[in-house]
Each structure stands twice: as structure tokens, then as C-alpha cells.
Amino acid sequence: MAEEPLIRWDWIGRNADRIGGLLVDNVVMGLAPVAIGLVVALPVGLACARWRRLYQPTVGIINVIYSLPSLAVFVLLLNVFILATMPIVVVPLTFYALAVLIPAVVDGLGSVPDPVRQAATAMGFRPLRRLIQVELPIAVPVVIAGLRVATVSSISLVSVGALVGKGGLGHLFIDGWQRQFPTPIIVGIVLIVALAVLADGVLILAQRLLTPWARARRTA
């Protein structure tokens, strides 16, 4: 009796459309929380950097939510958002992203040397202009470092949502496990890793484009 191959390439060919659809779902549900988290984290992080007394309570609340088991949160939100059009996995993943992004924004702004701020103020920069043209560009490497962690984590955690019906490539894991068929599991793992590596590479490229002075310093 011939041994069953580890990967059935014919199965992949027959299910290419389904795999492609799950891949798109995973991208959307993985990146949406990071985008929403960044939009929220920038003003919240700015407020925490300006008024430090806000930082510990804000991070404390976010970390409590971050510590909750993701599957339990998905099941709870399934009942709350049963009629919502937005995939329920986006909500907890947004909180998970905030737990990484808010400290990254605060640390990034904290990395701006005081003499740089003072020099910008002496040159006539008002607070908003100084923030946009001086502080945020200097904070970019730290913020993007947090963004990379949040993005890779979000892309991976989407698969957990398959247990409540919304999990992108995670559905391949359930399919393979239930049928004791390894091909879908392997395909899901490879695609999730590829997505994470691709997203991380894009963010590294974005950092290089947003911080041209860093390249000039390395080549000097």
C-alpha cells in the first residue's frame, strides 16, 4: 500500500480559488486592526507623552485586555456583534495592536532629544509644526518597530478566529485537523508565514523611505 504523500498538490490545484479567498480574508482581517490601532495609538500616545500621568493607566487597561485569552474574547464578541458586518476578530486584534503601538508611540516621541526640540522652538516652530516636521520623523524607527510586531502578531492571530467562523487561513487548519489531512495545514502555515514576512519587509522598506537621513549616515 502506497504511503500517503505529505502534500497533495492536486488538492491545492482543485482548491486554489478557496485558498485565494481565505488568503484575502486573512490579509484584510490581519491588517485592518493594525491600521485602526495606529490611527488610535497616535493621538493617544501623543497625549500620554505630553501628560505622563495618563500613560500608566492607559497602558494598564490595554494590557489587561491584551492578557485575555484570544479565543475567549472571540467567543464573547460573537454574541455581542452577532449582527455586525465587521468580522469580530478585528475588535480584539485592534486592542492587541494598541497594546504594542501605544508604548511604541510614547517611546518614539520620548526618543526625541530635548536639544532638538529646543532648537526647533528657537527656529520658530510652533508645537504642531514641530511635532509633524521634527518629532514624528525622529520617532519613526521606534514606531515602525512596534508596528512590525503588531502586524506580524495580527496576521498570525487571525487564524484563531476560525474556531468561531471568522479566521481566514485558519479554516485550513480546522479542515486538515478534522480530516487528518496535512495538506491544508501545511498550506495555511506557509501562507501565513509568507504574509508575515512580506508585511514585515514592506514596513522595513517604509522605514527606509521615511528616514533617508539614516541611510545617508550609514553610507557616510
Residue 83 banded pLDDT, cuts 50, 70, 90: very low
5-12 contacts: CB < 8 A, separation 24 or more? Answer: 6/182, 6/183, 6/186, 7/182, 7/183, 7/186, 8/181, 8/183, 11/181, 11/183, 11/184, 12/183, 12/187
CATH code of residue 149? 1.10.3720.10
Is residue 1 a part of any domain in this protein?
A: no
Is residue 92 a part of any domain in this protein?
A: yes
Q: What 3-state class would DSSP assign to 6?
A: coil
Is residue 205 a part of any domain in this protein?
A: yes
pLDDT in tens, 181-199: 889 999 999 999 999 999 9
Domain that holds residue 138: 10-211
Percent above pLDDT 70 for the chain = 85
pLDDT value at 79 more than 90:
no
Domain count, the chain: 1
Is residue 177 a part of any domain in this protein?
A: yes
pTM summary value: 0.85
Is residue 149 a part of any domain in this protein?
A: yes
pLDDT in tens, 112-166: 888 888 898 888 888 888 888 888 889 999 999 999 999 999 999 888 877 766 7
